[in-house]
Chains A and B, each alone.
Chain A
Amino acid sequence: MGGSPGGPIDKSQHETEDWECLADAVNIALDIKGLKTTDEHRRAIESLENYRELGYYERWVAATEKLLVEKGILTREEVDERSTEIEGRWGGTR
């Protein structure tokens, strides 16, 4: 990353959304409980195939899920199922 060519820096700031605060909080809460480490989190983010397409907290959520599945705490299917249910219930609410 460092030293790669890059364009102008977009200085606009978006307001952190509720789900992003939640992603942050869940991630750190898991770290504090010793269920995962920052280093695992970074490794999981780096291993995301669509790293460049995802936003910052999208990467966090994808990495958190990857680690939870890896550690056998959750399954992808459970998350899929519950996400679909939540999406159906909440629609476009953020």
Chain B
Amino acid sequence: MSDAHHHPHHEAGTEQAISPYAHRIRAIEALLLEKGVLTEPEIQDRVSYMESRSPENGARLVARAWVNPEFKARLLSDTKTAALELGIDAAGPVEFVVVENTPEVHNLIVCTLCSCYPRAILGRPPDWYKSFEYRSRAVREPRAVMREFGFEPPDRVEVVIHDSTADVRYMVLPMRPPGTEGLDEENLAALVTRDALIGVNVPRYIGS
């Protein structure tokens, strides 16, 4: 099954329907390998590439930016190069831009045209990010969308939506939650959720 909401749910005990496209992509793979268009290592490289990308990369970048103002400046001005400092390789044809939340501005990322996402850093987007509902509503009613994720900035905070329509991929640098002065980088990174990097929510900290 691909996008969960496109397929009916199945009762326990019945066979789950497999998409016919599963067979098709396996057929395509087999044919491309036989014809020498692609090799096994070339395909495996891409599988490994995506497996090594995850929201944890984004969380580490944010945590470093929170503790190190010079790094933060580099992250905002040249994201790819700054990411490399933490061993995150985002090389490729697309550009990356990190947009910073402030007390006055909250950023939200969407791609209405398809589902562009900073995959080279964060890995695959969540299913909801790719949904028609998110893509259509995030630009039209961002505050209602964020409310569904449990976040509601006050009216005096400006909500800024970035529609990734071209070859730039966006990631949010959320604000550091109050009360976290005593946390180290690793514990700060643990606060940064994927949803906060997209902008539908913010990192939260309940001090002990």
Q: In the complex, A touching B, CB below 8 Å?
A: yes
- The residues of A with any CB-CB pair to B shorter than 8 Å are 1-14, 16-17, 19-26, 28-30, 32-33, 35, 38, 42, 45, 52-58, 61-62, 64-65, 68, 73-74, 78-79, 81-87, 90, 92-94
Residues from chain B with a CB closer than 8 A to the CB of A22 are: 25-26, 29, 43, 47
Q: Among A73, A78, A86, point to the contact of B26 (Cβ < 8 A).
A: A86
Q: Among B1, B4, B31, B126, point to the contact of A78 (Cβ < 8 A).
A: B31
Contact A73 B124 (CB under 8 A): no
Contact A42 B113 (CB under 8 A): yes
Closest CB of chain B to A92's CB: distance in Å? 5
- Count chain B residues whose beta carbon lies closer than 8 angstroms to a beta carbon of A: 61
Residues from chain B with a CB closer than 8 A to the CB of A58 are: 2, 19, 21
Q: Which residue of B lies closest to A84 (CB)?
A: B23
- The residues of B with any CB-CB pair to A shorter than 8 Å are 1-7, 15-32, 35, 37-38, 42-47, 49-50, 93, 110, 112-115, 124, 126-128, 130-140, 145, 148-149, 163
Q: For the complex, what is the distance from the CA of A22 to the CA of B33, rounded to whole Å?
A: 13
Closest CB of chain A to B181's CB: distance in Å? 32
Contact B24 A11 (CB under 8 A): no
Closest CB of chain B to A52's CB: distance in Å? 8
Are A87 and B23 also in contact (CB < 8 A) when A16-B124, A28-B46 are? yes
Contact A14 B127 (CB under 8 A): yes
Most chain A CB within a 10 A radius of its CB, from B18, B19, B20, B28: B28
